[in-house]
Chain A
C-alpha cells in the first residue's frame, strides 16, 4: 500500500494539530484560571497602608475601620476621618501619614484601588454573612499577613455556590452553619 499525502494529513498531521490545540487550550485554561479570576491582583494603593501592621501586629479588629459591615450590604472602606482617629497623634512625621493628613485637611476623599468585586448583577450582602459568624478571612484570605492586600480567592459564582453547598468543608469553624440559599433571587434580582 502506498502512502499518499492524504494519508499523512489524516493520520499524522490532523491528530497532531488537534492534540496541540486541545493541550494548549486546556493548559491555558487552567493556568490562567487564577489570573482570570483576579487572584493575586494587588494594585498599588494611593497610600501604602499595611494590613499586616494594623490588623496583624497591632491586632485592630476589622470592624474598627470597616464599619457597617454587620448592618448592610457593603463593607465600607473607611473614610479618612477614621484613620485620623489615631493619626492625628500617632506617627505624624511619617511620609505616608503626612500624605494622609494632607488629604484630610484638603477635604479630599482617598481614591483607593478596588481589589474585590462581584459583578453588578449579583447583590452580595456582607451583613448576612458576617452575622452568621463567617470570618472575613474565609473570603478575603489572610489579610493579617498581607503587606499589600491582594485578592486571595475567586469571586465567581462557582466560588459562592461551592460554599453555599458545602459550608462545613469551607467553614469548619462554624459547627451550626446551614447550607446557603441556592435559588437565583438569593443573589440576582
Chain B
C-alpha cells in the first residue's frame, strides 16, 4: 500500500454509516437534527408542575418583598464573626481525603470554596492513583448535593428522632440476644480497618451477630483462584509498566476492573511515542466489546464461556521449554485442548500471540477478567507460571483482604434462617441487597419474616423501603474514615463539610449501639475511635520521631501513610487442577453480565452527570441494552432499538438491542446497575434490570440462553451520530479527511515522516495573527487515550455543565464541552476502533468568530477563542460555521428543564464553581481552555512578581486524564513540552486543509502490529 492510500484509511462511526444508509447522509447534511425545534411549544414551556408552582410562589413573594425596598440596595456583605485562619473568601482550600465510590480507595484532593466542596481531584501524593481519579469519584460530589438525600431517621414513613430510633434499636438488639436469635449485618466490601474494628466490636457486644459481606462486582473469583493456587487470598499487583506483551482475557483492566486508574497510568507509560518509541503490545481476547478491547493491537473474539479452554490451549502451545514441571493430570487436561478450535479466521492473530508470549517469557502478562469463573483464573495463573511471568507480580503491593466475602452457601443459609424466623434483626450497613443480591436468594421475601430491619443509607432505595428503620448516613465528604486496600498504603478520609442534614456517620451509629445507650452519641465519637485505632495500628508501626498528635495531623494533611508490609509469597500449587475437566460446551448463546462503566452496580444511578456520560464504546447514554454482533443481528433480523426477550433459567427480560461491531457471534453482553425502581427521580426506571438473571453472586456468565425478537422498540440515545461532520461536497469525502490519522510502529520506524509527507502548505489571503506574549495550546496523545471519560466528567464539574436528560440528548442537545469520538475501521465483525477526544480547537482563524453578528465570540491576544455569554443573542451561526461541532447551545435553562427542575434548588446550586458563569437559556457555550484557571495562575504570577509560565495552568481535563495524554501550555515558550510536541513528526491537526489553524494538536496513534498497515 502506498502512503497516499495508506492515509485513506476508511473510518466509519456506526453500522448504518458503514452500509451507506441514506438516512445517515441526510442527517449529516443538517447541522441540527430534523425536528430539533419541534417541541418549542410556548404553551408547553409554561406548563405548571408542582415544583415550578412552588418556585413561582416563592418568587412572587420575593418580588413583593423586593418591590418595597430601595432600588439602589446592593444587599449585604456578611463576613465571618470569627474567621477561621485558613479560610479566605475567594481562595480555594484543598483537603486530602479518600474516595469511597468503589472499593479501590483512591486518594483524593477535595477543593472547597467558602466551606463547600466544589470539585474532587486525585491526590498527587497517593502512591496508587497518583493525582488521578475516575468518573465516579469525580461525579460523586453531585450525590452530596442530591435534593433527594434522606434527611431524617425514619420509622416506616414517619420521621423520628435519632434518640428514639437508637433506643428502640438497642432494645431490639438486646431482645434478640436474650432470645438467642441471629442478628445479621450486611455490608459491601470492607476496606477500612477502623470500620472492620467497629464491626468486630459490634460482634463482641452482640455475640449473636453474623457479618455478611458481598459485592456484585469485585475480585472475589480472583481471590478464590489465588487461594487455591498460592494459598492466600491476597494477590499481588501487576507491573503493567514492565510488560512487553499483555493478553487480557475478557479483562477490562482499563475500563472497570481493579484500580483501572492505576492500571491506565502504568499501561500507557508504555505507549510512549513522543520522546522515544516504547510501545507494549496488547492482545485482548473477549466476547463483548470493552474499552480495553478498543485499545488492543490485536483483538481476538472468543466467547466468555470458552475462555477456560482458550487459556489452556494457549498453555498447550507454550508448554515446550517451560521450567515448570506439571502434574500428569494437569498435562492431560492441557493436552485435550487445541488452539485451532478458536482460529475461525483469526489464526494469524493467534499465531502472533503464541510467538509473542514465547518470545517475551517473563516480560509478558496474561490477565483474566473479574467477571470470569474461578477456573479461568486458575488457568491464567498456570499460564503465567509456565511463561515465567510471575516476575511481573508486585508482592510489595498485595491486595489486602480485611473482611472476606461471604460465600453463596453462607448467603443461602442466612436467607433460609430469615425464612425460618431464626433471624430477628437485620442491619444493612450502607448496602442495597434487595437490588444487588442474586434473585435466587429471594431476599425481599425473606426480609418480610424479620422483625426489625434497619437500613443505613444515604438515600431511599429498594432495601430501605422494606425496612422498619431507615437511618440517613453521611456522604463520603462528610465522613471520617480510613482505608487499607494495598499492602503498605494506608489512606485517611476526612470530612470537608459538616453534615448538611440530620445524618450521622455510619460507624458512629454502630458505636452508639455498641455502647448500649442512645445518649452516648456525639459528633466526634468515631473521629476519636479512628485516631485511637490509627495510633495503635499505624503510628506504632512507623517508629516516627514525631509525637502522636503531630504524626496524626501530618498524615491527615497528606491523606496517606506508607509503610513496609511484607506479604506472603507462596509457590504455585497444582492441586486445584485435580478433578477439573473441559466443560461440555453447548452451541448456544452466552450471556455476559458486566459492570456499568459509569453508574457502577447501580449505586450511582441517581447521578445525572454519570448517567449522561456516553458509554466509552457505544456512546449510548441513559440506558443499558443487550449488545449483539452484526451477523447475529442479521440472523435474527434485528436492528438497534428492537426489543428482544432474553431468558435464562426461567427468568425473562425484555430489553432493546444494540448491534455492536466486534462482538463475538454467540455473545450477548448486558451491563448491570440499571433498572433501579426505588431511587431519586434521575435514576428511576432508567434502563433494564438484568440483575434478575444473576442466580449466584459472582456468576456473571450464563451459557445456553435463549433470545427472541419481540414486538416493539425502545429508543436508545447515542451521542455518536449527531455532530457528524459535513460531507455535502462529495459522498464519502469525510472518510478521507484525515480526521483520525494512524500508523503502526513498523511504519514509523521505516518512514518517520509518513504523516507529514503529504501535508501541503496553505496560503492565507489575510495576514497571520501575531501572538507576542503567551499563546495557549493543547495536545492530545491518541496513543494514550483509553476513552475512560474522566476528562469529560472533570470538565462537567469544573465548568458547571448541566444535565440535559435523555429526551434532550436524543435531540442532540447534550452540553458536554468535551466529547470522545469513536471511529471504526475494518469490517463490522472485526473492527479496529480509534478514539479521539474532541473539544474547542481554539483556531487562530476561527470560523465561528467571523459569523457572530454581535461579536460575542472573538479572539484574545493569548490565543483563546473567547465566548462572552452576556453578548450572545443565540443566533447559533457560530455553531453552524464550526467545522468541529464543539459548540453547545442552551436550548433551555437546562437546570430548570431537566426532570422538572430537579437540579434547580439551593442545595444543588452549591456544587457550582463560583469562578464560572452558570449559563442560562439562549446562550451558546463551549470549551474555554479553563480560562478561570488561566486567570488564577496569572493573578498568582503577578502576586509573586514572576512571569506566567505555561506549566502554571493545568486544565480540568488534563488534571483528570489518568493516561497523561493531555498536555497544555504556552507554545511561544520554546522550551515547553507543548512547543516540542507541536513540531513532532507524529503531530497533526484535524481538518488541517481548512486552514483554520487549530490549537489542539493530536499525536497520531501508532498501533503495535506486525505489519506496516493498520488494516
Contact = CB atoms under 8 A, between A and B. Distances in A.
A166 interface: no
A70 B82 CA distance: 21
B915 interface: yes
A72 B945 CA distance: 15
Given A76-B89, A181-B861, A183-B861, A127 B939 contact: yes
Interface string B950-970: 000000000000000000000
The main secondary structure of chain B at its interface with chain A is loop
A183 B76 contact: no
A70 B871 CA distance: 31
**Residue with the greatest number of chain B CB neighbours at <10 A, chosen from A41, A79, A113:** A79
Contact of B78 (A72, A112, A128): A112
A125 B90 CA distance: 10
A113 B90 CA distance: 19
A41 B90 contact: no
The main secondary structure of chain A at its interface with chain B is loop
A54 interface: no
A141 interface: no
A68 B89 contact: yes
B76 A72 contact: no
Given A79-B80, A111-B76, A185 B864 contact: yes
A150 to B, nearest CB: 11
Contacts of A112: 76-79
Interface stretch (B748-756, B762-770, B927-935): B927-935
Interface stretch (A21-29, A102-110, A167-175): A102-110
B83 interface: yes
Contact of A183 (B75, B83, B89, B860): B860
A189 B79 contact: no
Nearest to A182: B861
B921 to A, nearest CB: 15
Interface in B814-872: 858-861, 864, 866-871
A70 B943 contact: yes
Contacts of A79: 79-83
A189 B916 contact: yes
Interface of A: 38, 41, 43, 67-68, 70-74, 76-82, 103-104, 107-115, 117, 120-121, 123, 125, 127-128, 131-132, 181, 183-186, 188-189
Interface string B435-470: 000000000000000000000000000000000000
B2 interface: no
Interface in B74-115: 74-83, 88-91
Interface in B908-951: 915-917, 928, 931-932, 935, 938-939, 942-943, 945
B73 interface: yes
The 7 A-B residue pairs with the shortest CB-CB distance, nearest first, are: A74-B90, A72-B90, A79-B83, A183-B860, A73-B90, A79-B80, A114-B74
Interface of B: 70, 72-83, 88-91, 858-861, 864, 866-871, 915-917, 928, 931-932, 935, 938-939, 942-943, 945
A72 B80 CA distance: 17
Contacts of B861: 181, 183
B943 A110 contact: no
Given A79-B80, A79-B82, A121-B870, A74 B89 contact: yes
A169 B864 CA distance: 30
Contacts of B868: 184, 188
Contact of B939 (A81, A108, A111, A128): A128
Contacts of A71: 88, 91, 943
Contacts of A123: 915, 932, 935
Contacts of A104: 81-82
A77 to B, nearest CB: 5
A128 B858 contact: no
A8 to B, nearest CB: 42
Given A185-B860, A185-B928, A125 B939 contact: yes
B503 to A, nearest CB: 24
B922 to A, nearest CB: 15
A104 B859 CA distance: 50
Nearest to A35: B72
Contacts of B79: 76-80, 109-110, 112
A73 B935 CA distance: 11
Contact of A80 (B77, B82, B89): B82
